Amino acid sequence: MAVKVEKLKVNYKTLEEFKKFKEYGVQELSMLEDLQANIIENDSESPFYGIYFGDTLIARMSLYQRESRFDQYFDPPQRYLELWKLEVLPKYQGKGYGKLLVEFAKGFGLPIKTNSRIKSQGFWEKMGFEPVTYDVERDLGENPMVWYPEGVKEQKIS
Amino acid sequence: MAVKVEKLKVNYKTLEEFKKFKEYGVQELSMLEDLQANIIENDSESPFYGIYFGDTLIARMSLYQRESRFDQYFDPPQRYLELWKLEVLPKYQGKGYGKLLVEFAKGFGLPIKTNSRIKSQGFWEKMGFEPVTYDVERDLGENPMVWYPEGVKEQKIS
């Protein structure tokens, strides 16, 4: 079956699918509350992208565009993407769906930053991501891994 | 045995003790490299506080002071503490050492922000922490929990 990455809308169906993911949390609960309180409409934009296999959401990630004035990672400073909650349901792991999502994110042509778990660092390295020089003031408890499009390099911390 | 919370110095002994903790990662490796390269001196200040039981470091946390101009959580905006890597070695859990560290952090009298795992939310609530209203632009993949000293409340997001 051909699969594709699609932007996920905020609706009750999507939020129900989200419950299958381990990293279901405050973000999803907040979307649900906003929907119930009519703060956002059904089928509003969400920061999530996902892959459906038939009717089932089997993989997802969150992507958010940061403006260049907030950029503390890339040289020259520029708009970049924050990527989080990349997750493939256990039954569908090891089939390249995670890679498909990351490749999709790279397709925007912007630098990408993610906060890697220590155990996931190998995956990110295979995806072409690199660790940055740790800086306590910027990174605190994070383990940032970044992907540089051509012509972009690490921002030196002063 | 009486235990107390102490500020941890960066030295080879401390960094060796750190290896016993699950959340050993980029931050610790960076401290080790800085020590080896003489970028920092032996016994330099670290953002870590810990509890020793005899010669063994059995619990630790990281605390970092944020300046008020970076405050996106508290009203009025002010200096606050970021708390991360709170961890008690398995053998010593359930004996109040985590609580002792959190109470120590509160002792500075500043608001505190931490990024809670979903599973840890109950612990933080018992410690008097509250979730904030989730905001995707500020919080991304985080589940922030905060502690308000008297006279401090949640900053409304515009």
> What is the pLDDT confidence band of residue B119, given thresholds at 50, 70 and 90?
confident
Q: Is B134 on the interface with A (CB under 8 A)?
A: yes
Amino acid (one-letter) located at B29: L
CA distance A121 to chain B (A): 11
In order of their start, the domains of chain B are 5-154 (3.40.630.30)
Among B24, B30, B141, select the one facing A85 at the smallest CB separation.
Answer: B141
pLDDT value of position A107 = 97
Residue B144 and residue B132: Cα distance in Å, rounded?
6
**pLDDT above 70 (res B15):** yes
CA separation, residue A32 to residues A5, A48, B118 (Å): 22, 14, 17
Number of Cβ within a 10 Å radius of residue B42: 11
| Residues of B whose CB is below 8 A from A143 | 25-27
- Beta strand A112-115 with A80-88 is parallel
- The pair of structure tokens assigned to A22 is 């381990």
pLDDT digits (tens, 9 = 90+) for A96-138: 999 999 999 999 999 999 999 888 999 999 999 999 999 999 9
**pTM score, whole prediction:** 0.91
Neighbours of B2 (CB within 10 A): 3
Only one residue has tokens 């995956």, namely A123
Q: In 3D, which of B110, B119, B148 has the Cα closest to residue B132? A: B148
Whether the CB of A84 is below 8 Å from some CB of chain B: the reply is: yes
Q: Order of strands, edge to edge, in the sheet holding A130-131?
A: A5-10, A44-53, A56-66, A80-88, A112-115, A144-147, A130-131
* In chain B, % of residues over pLDDT 70: 99
Residue of B46, B60, B65, B134 to mutate, testing the A interface (most A Cβ within 10 Å of its Cβ):
B134
Q: For the residues A69-84, what does the mean pLDDT come to?
A: 96
Contact residues, chain A, for B62 at CB < 8 Å: 140-141
| CB nearest to B62's CB, from A85, A137, A141 | A141
Best of B140, B142, B146 to substitute, by most chain A Cβ atoms within 10 angstroms, is: B140
Alpha-carbon distance A1 to nearest alpha carbon in chain B (angstroms): 31
Please report which confidence band the pLDDT of residue B158 belongs to, taking 50, 70 and 90 as the band edges.
low
Q: What pLDDT does B34 receive?
A: 94
Q: Which of A73, A132, A136 to mutate to test the interface with B (most CBs of B within 10 A)?
A: A136
The ipTM value here is 0.87
Searching chain B, which residue's CA lies closest to the CA of residue A132? B26
Percent of chain B with pLDDT over 90: 94
Average pLDDT over residues B33-53: 95
pLDDT band with cut points at 50, 70 and 90 for residue B1: low
Report the pLDDT value the prediction gives residue A3, as an integer from 0 to 100: 87
B62 touches chain A (CB under 8 A): yes
Asked if B12 is an interface residue toward chain A (Cβ–Cβ < 8 A), one would say no
Measured from the Cβ of residue A136, the count of other Cβ atoms closer than 10 Å reads 15
Looking at the complex, does the CB of residue B120 fall below 8 Å from at least one CB of chain A?
A: no
The C-alpha atoms of residue B147 and residue B74 are separated, in whole angstroms, by 10
Across the interface, whether the CB atoms of A141 and B115 are under 8 A apart is answered yes
Q: Name A56's Cβ contacts closer than 8 Å, sequence gap at least 6.
A: A17, A89
Q: Residue B118 carries which side chain, given as an amino acid letter?
A: I
B82 touches chain A (CB under 8 A): yes
Interatomic CA distance for residues A26 and A137, integer angstroms? 25
Contact B26 A139 (CB under 8 A): yes
The CA-based dihedral angle spanning residues A122, A126, A128, A133, taken in that order and rounded to the nearest 10 degrees = 10
Mean pLDDT of A13-28: 95
B56 pairs with which residues across the strands? B53
